Amino acid sequence: MGFADPDLFQGAAWFLTPTPEQNAYHGLSGEFLEWVEKLGARIASMDADEHDRLCAWISHLPQMISTAIAAALVDEYGEDAPLLEAGGRALREMTRISASPYSMWRDIALTNKKNIGQALLKLEQRLAHIRENLDTRELAIEFERAHHLRKTEVKPQRTRSKRRN
């Protein structure tokens, strides 16, 4: 119990992908969702395609970025270089999930290849834009655009119309 966290689900997003004819807020699944909410999670309902696109951006792309940074650092400096200590907290945070097992990510990459590929392409284009503008005002504009992510926190919305009374 030393690692138990009573607030583990506080503010956590839970995504539902019901079929068009399914009402996940009724019956046993509705009871389960009430418990999920009581634990503090926020529930959002969306179709499976939007879920896969969203997860490519908010979960799969960060994993691929972390993996790429860690692998590039190993290639550049070798396996035994004390980079995490030298790089500090930012590098440790950026590469923490690079230790995730390939066995899990193989299946995710295979099943969501299209969305992950599109997200990677858009990121590659953004990185190229930044690289090409390291000495222009465009770099400042990119920083300003990036700061908007932290200014507004997007919260999944519950679909109240489907909710059981």
* pLDDT score for 150: 87
Residue whose entry in the numeric block shows the structure tokens 């690692």: 3
Spell out the alpha helix ranges (H) of 96-136. 102-111, 113-132
Q: Which residues of the chain have pLDDT under 70?
A: 1, 152-165
Contacts of 60 by beta carbon, 8 Å cutoff, 6+ apart:
108, 109, 112, 115, 116, 119
* pLDDT score for 1: 61
Q: What is the mean pLDDT of the chain?
A: 90
In this prediction the pTM is: 0.81
